[in-house]
A and B are shown apart, each in its own frame.
Chain A
């Protein structure tokens, strides 16, 4: 049972480039989340989804987009990357608000 899998683990982007951070879970969880964590800080919610086809904004959605076409996958898209998006990104899932599980993160550096 893999839990929540995030890819890639590390990435360096140039300013203005785009990329997709992948997140997949195999626990049949309906809720999925994307967070970013800046050095020495807690996690800030970017987007979340309560089921396939349903997404909603969190605290810091600007510069990001998400989609949820299946229960298992919740990719995060960065368009026109900016240095302010340098961070560690975590994906998480839960079943109706229980059993929260986090992935191991994607470290992104925008230069």
Chain B
């Protein structure tokens, strides 16, 4: 099993606050993906990071891949209620990808 640990498991914040969620592994990733999943729906791919130290921005979301390619973070600036959902990281290994347990984010208006 390819173990991916995500933290925190649950996060509840007020609209307008900033937050960071983390994805960690003891093994090196070849690449890593971040997804957001809303209740009753399948995960939707947000970004793929490949290079150690890489930073990608998607509007108010900033994704960083650690230099050693063992960890990644997702930072959300000025969170909005529409950001509410389950955030999942997934490591890509060959033809398979393995998911972390997720961070459940609730943004309170």
Contact of A59 among B1, B42, B88, B90 (CB under 8 A): B1
20 CB < 8 A contacts A-B:
A4-B42, A41-B102, A42-B4, A42-B6, A42-B99, A42-B100, A43-B90, A44-B99, A45-B98, A48-B96, A59-B98, A90-B42, A97-B95, A98-B48, A101-B45, A102-B42, A102-B43, A102-B44, A103-B42, A104-B42
By beta carbon, the residue of chain A nearest B33 is: A100
What residues of chain A lie closer than 8 Å to B1, measured between beta carbons? 59
- CB under 8 Å from chain A, chain B span 21-48: 33, 40-45, 48
Smallest CB-CB A-B distances: 9 pairs: A102-B42, A42-B99, A43-B99, A42-B101, A42-B102, A100-B45, A90-B42, A102-B43, A42-B100
- Measured CB to CB, the residues of B under 8 A from A are 1, 4, 6, 33, 40-45, 48, 88, 90, 92, 95-102, 104
Check if B88 sits within 8 Å of A43, measured CB to CB. yes
What residues of chain B lie closer than 8 Å to A50, measured between beta carbons? 95
Against B, the Cβ 8 Å flags (1 = close, 0 = not) of A32-65 are 0101000011111100101000001011000000
Chain A at the B interface: SS class: strand
Check if B43 sits within 8 Å of A97, measured CB to CB. no
Inter-chain pairs besides A41-B102, A90-B42, 12 sampled, C-beta below 8 Å: A33-B96, A33-B97, A40-B104, A42-B100, A43-B88, A43-B90, A50-B95, A59-B1, A98-B48, A103-B42, A104-B40, A105-B40
What residues of chain A lie closer than 8 Å to B99, measured between beta carbons? 35, 42-44
Complex-state Cα separation, A104 to B88, whole angstroms: 16
What residues of chain B lie closer than 8 Å to A74, measured between beta carbons? none
Check if A31 sits within 8 Å of B95, measured CB to CB. yes
Check if A41 sits within 8 Å of B42, measured CB to CB. no
Known contacts A43-B88, A50-B95, A97-B95; is-contact A104 B41 (Cβ 8 Å): yes
Complex-state Cα separation, A42 to B95, whole angstroms: 19
Complex-state Cα separation, A18 to B96, whole angstroms: 27
Least Cβ distance of A46 to chain B in Å? 11
Least Cβ distance of B11 to chain A in Å? 14
